[in-house]
Structure 1
Amino acid sequence: MLLLFPLLAVACQPPLISAAAEDRPIPAASELTTAPLAIVTGKGAFSFVVEIARSEAEQAQGLKHRRPLAPDRGMIFPMRPARLASFWMKDTPSPLDIIFIAPGGTVARVAAMTKPYSLDPIDSGVPVEAVLEIAGGRAEQIGLQPGDRVNWRDPGGE
């Protein structure tokens, strides 16, 4: 039992980020199902193609170790049933805008320009039916605000 404690202490510490991490190959784009998604703001409707992270494993992987997203790309995390959600940026090399979507498809909260590699939790604050990640700064470009609409359909969902 005494030997287990030091292992747990090391395993629970945040990883060290080094220049070597930058040299690691970044996996190719995921094999997740994609779907069209539209965000409607006061500036108009904006089209995206999003990867759908349905399973617990897909959601845990998220956009870790991935190249920056194109302005019209993203990843959505369906939450069935709606629940509180918390994300972090561990092993994510580029800033993201994390959009928490309330039941009914309205934006509940936008966490803009999240910090790469951060272990700080980013919470929804309210139960959400989905979480959308897009390129950092894109939410501001399209004028995204709480109360705006996100329209999408999961072709393999319920």
Structure 2
Amino acid sequence: MRLWLRLMACLAMLCSIPAAHAEPLEVMLGGERFYLEVVDDPASRRQGLMGREFLAPDEGMLFDFPSSTTPAIWMRNMLISLDLLFVDEQSRLVKVFTDVPPCDAPPCDIYRVERPIRFVIEVAAGTADRLGLESGMVLNLGRITRQPAPYQ
């Protein structure tokens, strides 16, 4: 009976892990349409794309942080390489990290910028180069930039 209770507790915890918003955000990056899962709470940000084995060329994840945040991203438990796009409150691309590899075990490299930003976008490795994305560009993030991130 004790084992059964532990299994039920584990299942309850797994079911309570927040998922990305069900409807992806449609944005334009480098003139191409992308569908980004939006994560805007601490638990879903921690989960991110961990465990994913594949990311389509037109898909990604947008991490929406509270204003004045300087997030740190690492690739622990990732299975695929990604491009990381750090974007400020005005949708300006602040920094691009390309072909960021997964990290199997700590210590993992930490990716961050020295100034506050609002978003980090993760897309498949090679996307930033393919689209010619560079620091200073303004991205079209659609409806997401019209509302402040929830304070968490």
Instruction: Please give the TM-score of this superposition, normalised by the length of structure 1.
Output: 0.73
Q: Equivalents in 2 of 1:108, 1:31: separation in Å?
A: 24
Residue equivalent to 1:38? 28
Contact kept? 2:20, 2:38, Cα under 8 Å: no
Two-structure CA RMSD over aligned residues (Å): 1.9
The C-alpha deviation readout for 1:62-88, integer Å capped at 9, x for no partner, is 000002211100000111213111100
- Structure 1 residue 148: deviation in Å? 1.3
Is it true that 1:138 corresponds to 2:124 in the alignment? no
Residue equivalent to 1:113? 99
Contact kept? 2:56, 2:124, Cα under 8 Å: yes
Residue equivalent to 2:118? 129
* 2:29 partner SS: strand
Residue equivalent to 1:61? 47
Count of residue pairs brought into register by the alignment: 125
* Letter of the structure 2 residue corresponding to residue 61 of structure 1: Q
Query: Of Structure 1 and Structure 2, which has the larger fraction of its residues in strand?
Result: 1
**CA distance 1:114–1:47, change in 2 (3 Å):** same
The C-alpha deviation readout for 1:3-59, integer Å capped at 9, x for no partner, is xxxxxxxxxxxxxxxxxxxxxxxxxxx65331101124xxxx121000001110000
- Structure 1 residue 147: deviation in Å? 1.0
Contact kept? 2:39, 2:45, Cα under 8 Å: yes
The gaps in structure 2 that reach 5 residues or longer are 1-18
Instruction: Please give the TM-score of this superposition, normalised by the length of structure 2.
Output: 0.76
Residue equivalent to 2:139? 150
The gaps in structure 1 that reach 5 residues or longer are 1-29
* 1:113 partner SS: strand
Contact kept? 2:20, 2:44, Cα under 8 Å: no
